[in-house]
């Protein structure tokens, strides 16, 4: 299958939308005779097939605590976790992978940023 960037150049908008929808298995469902449309992304975002495959592979072969164990599965999980941090750092052009902080949710991330900004930017003028 062509990559999204390659395919986009030769497709109209409807074809592009259909290609994206095909990458999300849950969107193949019909609800009341119409294709499922999911707009509740603030609560839960649906996963593309690549994420489902990666999650499945992780839980089948690599599931372990990161940075907490001395056994081989934990070492593999930690290595993969830190490799992901390096990838994100490169994508965001961070000066160091240590600048990348993973959180559990968008809400936690926003609260973390607000807390840090509040400590540095609020005070007597």
What pLDDT is attached to residue 116? 86
Would you say residue 6 has pLDDT above 80? Answer: no
Report pLDDT for 98.
Answer: 96
Per-residue pLDDT, 4 = 61
Number of helices (H), then strands (E), belonging to the chain: the values are: 5, 2
| φ, ψ at 5 (rounded to 5°) | -65, -45
CA distance 60 to 111: 33
Using a cut of 0.75, tell me whether the model's pTM lies above it: no
Encode pLDDT of 14-53 as tens digits. 888 899 999 999 999 999 999 999 999 887 899 999 999 9
Q: What local confidence, expressed as pLDDT, does residue 11 receive?
A: 83
Helix/strand/coil for 63:
coil
Per-residue pLDDT, 34: 96
pLDDT of residue 60: 95
Residues 95-122 have pLDDT tens digits of 999 999 999 988 999 999 998 887 776 6
């Amino acid at each position: 299958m062509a990559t999204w960037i390659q395919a986009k150049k030769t497709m109209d908008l409807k074809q592009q939308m259909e290609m994206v929808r095909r990458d999300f298995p849950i969107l193949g469902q019909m609800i009341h005779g119409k294709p499922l449309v999911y707009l509740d992304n603030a609560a839960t975002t649906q996963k593309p097939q690549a994420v489902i495959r990666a999650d499945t592979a992780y839980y089948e072969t690599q599931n372990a605590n990161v940075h907490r164990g001395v056994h081989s599965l934990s070492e593999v999980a930690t290595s993969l976790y830190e490799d992901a941090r390096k990838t994100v750092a490169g994508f965001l052009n961070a000066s160091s992978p240590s600048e990348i902080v993973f959180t559990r949710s968008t809400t936690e991330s926003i609260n973390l940023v607000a807390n840090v900004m509040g400590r540095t930017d609020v005070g007597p003028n």
